[in-house]
Amino acid sequence: MQLKINDTIIYFEEDLNEINDFKNQFNLNKYYLIVDSNVYNLYKDVLDKYFINNETIIIPSGEEYKNINTVFMIVDKLLNLDINRGDTIIGIGGGVTCDICGFVASILYRGIKHLLIPTTLLAMVDATMGGKCGVDHLNRKNIIGSFYEPKGIYITPYFLKTLPKEQYNSGLGEVIKYSFLDDRFDLYNECNLINIIKDSILIKKKYVEADFKDKGLRMCLNLGHTFGHAIELKEKILHGQAVLEGIYMIFNLEKDLGIDISNEQALFNKLLQKYNLEIKGYDYKLYIEDIYKDKKNISGELNLVFVKNFRPYLYKIRKDELYDKIIGK
C-alpha cells in the first residue's frame, strides 16, 4: 500500500523485499545511510544486503545524543565523504535518528533529499511524517529544528520483532493519543498492527495537510506533549511514556478548570488496561513553570491542547491566569 502526505510517499510493506522499488522512485544518485548503533548492530547483514555500495554513518543511540553536536558530527562526515547537493541521505532508526536525519538534510546545502526507514513503532506512527525535525538543546525538547519533509518513508513491521517491550509501549503512547484526535479511531477494538499504524498516519495526515507550519490546527497533535516534554527530560523516561503521563496531567488540569471530561478519562483508563500500560500519575501543578518554556509559548501565552467530546481544541492562557484559576485546587 502507498499513501501520500503532501510531497512524501509512504510505503507500507510486510518486509524489506520491496525496498528497491521504493528507492527507484526517487532517482537516487549517490546515497548515504545514517543509522543508529543499536539498529546497525542488529541488522548489519540486512543493511549490507539491501543497501549495496553505500556509505554508512553510525550515530550513538539514545535521546541524550539528539543534539547539535551529533548534527555537526554527521555534517562533517558527509562533507569529508564529498556529498553533493544532488545526493540523498537515508535515515534508518527510531525517532531520534529520523529527526536528526531530517534536520541535517534541511540545513546541508540549504536542503538535500532524504528518505526515512523507521524501526520503532513510535517513529512509524509519528516521528517520521509531517516534516518536523530537530534536536534538543539546553534541556528543551526539539527547540532547534525546521520543517522539512522526506521524499519517502518505508514502513515495515519487520524491524519490530527486535524492538524491546518498553520501546514498543512507548510507541503505543503516541497511538493512544490519536484516540482523542479523531472519534472514528477505534483503537480499543482494533487488533491488527498494520491497521493501527495506517489509521494513526491517516489521522496525522489530516492535521499536517491542513496546517503544515503548525500555526493552529496541527498544534492539536501535541496532545500530552506540553507536560510530556517536561516530564521526559526531567524524569529521563521514554517519549511515548511521557506522552501518556502528559495526557493524564492535561486531563486533570481540564478537570480542575471545571471541564467535564469524564468520558475521555474513562477511555484513557480503558486503553491503559487493554495494552497493559502503567503511568505514575505526576502532579501537573509541579510542572507549570516548565511548560511555559515550551516552544508553543507565544508571547507569554501557552497553547494547551484540551479535549472535549473526543475533539481536541486549543486553550490559550498566560501563566499568571493559569495559577489564578487552579490555586487551592
**208 and 190 co-located in one domain:** yes
Residue numbers of the domain that contains 106: 2-162
* pLDDT the model gives residue 2: 85
Q: Are residues 193 and 89 in the same domain?
A: no
pLDDT at 127: 84
Classify each residue of 258-278 as buried b or exposed e, where b means 16 or more C-beta atoms within 10 Å of its C-beta.
eeebeebbebbeebbeeeebe
Residue 189 to residue 197: CA distance in whole angstroms: 14
The domain that holds 34 is classified in CATH as 3.40.50.1970
Q: Tell me: do 183 and 320 sit in the same domain.
A: yes
Consecutive H or E run containing 198: helix 193-210
Question: Do 147 and 232 lie in a common domain?
Answer: no
* Vertex 10: Cα angle to 27 and 268 (nearest 5): 160
* Nearest to 119, CA basis, from 21, 52, 38: 38
| Cβ neighbours of 197 (radius 10 Å) | 21
Are 190 and 317 contained in the same domain? yes
Cα–Cα distance, 133 to 144 (Å, whole number)? 9
Q: Considering the entire predicted model, what is its pTM?
A: 0.91
CB 164 within 8 A of CB 203: no
Pair (307, 198) in one structural domain: yes
Same domain for 8 and 136? yes
Residues 142 and 213 in one domain: no
> Domain end: 129, 162, 195, which one?
162
Same domain, 123 and 248: no
Q: Provide, for the chain, the percentages of residues in helix, strand and coil under a 3-state DSSP scheme, each rounded to the nearest 5.
A: 50, 20, 30
Are 152 and 26 in contact by the 8 Å Cβ rule? The answer is: yes
Q: Are residues 319 and 179 in the same domain?
A: yes
Each residue's pLDDT, cut to its tens digit, for the chain (329 residues) gives 788 888 899 999 999 999 999 999 998 889 999 999 999 999 999 999 999 877 999 999 988 999 999 999 999 999 999 999 999 999 999 999 999 999 999 999 999 999 999 999 999 999 888 899 999 999 888 899 999 999 999 999 999 999 999 999 999 999 999 999 998 899 988 888 989 999 999 999 999 999 998 888 999 999 999 999 999 988 999 999 999 999 999 999 999 999 999 999 999 999 999 999 999 999 999 998 888 776 666 667 788 999 998 899 999 888 888 888 886 55
Is residue 271 within 8 Å of residue 310, measured between CB atoms? no
Residue (of 61, 71, 72, 67) closest to 120 by Cα position: 61
150 plus 207 within the same structural domain: no
**pLDDT for the residue 215:** 86
pLDDT for 141-180, tens place per residue? Answer: 889 999 999 999 999 999 999 999 999 999 999 999 999 9
Cα 47 from Cα 16, distance rounded (Å): 10
Q: What are phi and psi of 134, to 5 degrees?
A: 170, -175
User: Which of 115, 146, 162 marks a domain boundary?
Assistant: 162
Q: Taking Cα atoms as reference points, which of 93, 184, 130, 186 lies closest to residue 3?
A: 130
pLDDT for position 292: 79
Whichever domain contains 300, its CATH number is 1.20.1090.10
Q: Which of 126, 145, 162 represents a domain boundary (last residue)? A: 162
Number of structural domains, the chain?
Answer: 2
How big is the CA angle at 303 (ends 298 and 304), to the nearest 5 degrees? Answer: 150
The pLDDT assigned to 327 comes to: 66
Asked whether residue 247 falls in the same domain as residue 154, the answer is no
